[in-house]
């Protein structure tokens, strides 16, 4: 039998990274002439301008990277959930600082924004399903041990 070239985890992580990469090269917000990569680089401005939704959305990128790099299943599940929760705050962003920071630009989510969210959703539901499978498998083993002990 041929060995599988890529694991299911590698495939899902790749799909998620492709979606994230697409979000970096197309407009994230309509109303501002910025692509996703510029939004990621300037997201820290939310701290300076006291914009919690911008800051929390930006922090989703950090927890996303941590979820991708984590080798522990429980940490992957928790971090991908945190990523999704933090990203949901970005739905409330209605203005972002201009390039020089002296004015605010009114915006609404663009196509890149939804690719960004979809990359997080893909990773979360994969980790969620693998966590549920692991729990289910553990219960099956426990039930077999109980039946064997009772017999």
- The reply to whether 74 falls in a domain is yes
- The reply to whether 85 falls in a domain is yes
When pLDDT is averaged across residues 14-36 and rounded to a whole number, the result is 91
* C-alpha dihedral sign at 104, 106, 111, 113: positive
- The reply to whether 2 falls in a domain is no
- The reply to whether 1 falls in a domain is no
For the stretch 120-132, pLDDT in tens is 999 998 887 765 5
> Does the pLDDT of residue 142 top 70, yes or no?
no
Task: Indicate the SS3 state at residue 1.
Answer: coil
Mean pLDDT lowest among 62-71, 100-109, 131-140: 131-140
Q: Which pLDDT band, with edges at 50, 70 and 90, does 137 fall under?
A: low
Cβ pair 23, 60 in contact under 8 A: no
pLDDT recorded at residue 18: 96
pLDDT recorded at residue 1: 47
- Could you give the number of structural domains in the chain? 1
- The reply to whether 3 falls in a domain is no
Q: Which pLDDT band, with edges at 50, 70 and 90, does 97 fall under?
A: confident
pLDDT recorded at residue 63: 95
Token pair recorded at residue 88: 């949901």
Among 7, 5, 28, 15, which Cα is nearest to 125's? 15
Task: Indicate the SS3 state at residue 98.
Answer: coil
- Residue 109's DSSP bridge partners are 29
Q: Which domain holds residue 65?
A: 8-150
* C-alpha dihedral sign at 19, 21, 22, 27: positive
pTM above 0.85, yes or no: no
When pLDDT is averaged across residues 59-77 and rounded to a whole number, the result is 92
For the stretch 27-37, pLDDT in tens is 999 988 888 88
- The reply to whether 42 falls in a domain is yes
């Amino acid at each position: 039998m041929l060995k599988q070239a890529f694991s299911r985890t590698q495939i899902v992580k790749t799909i998620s990274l492709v979606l994230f990469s697409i979000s970096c090269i197309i407009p994230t917000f309509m109303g501002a002439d910025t692509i996703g990569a510029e939004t990621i680089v300037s997201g820290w401005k939310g701290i300076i301008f006291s914009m919690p939704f911008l800051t929390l959305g930006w922090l989703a990128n950090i927890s996303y990277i941590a979820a991708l790099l984590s080798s522990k299943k429980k940490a992957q599940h928790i971090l991908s959930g945190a990523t999704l929760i933090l990203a949901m705050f970005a739905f409330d962003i209605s203005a972002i600082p201009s390039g020089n920071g002296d004015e605010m630009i009114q915006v609404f989510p663009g196509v890149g924004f939804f690719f960004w969210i979809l990359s997080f959703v893909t990773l979360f539901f994969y980790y969620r399903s693998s966590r549920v499978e692991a729990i289910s498998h553990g219960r099956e083993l426990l039930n077999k041990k109980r039946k064997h002990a009772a017999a």
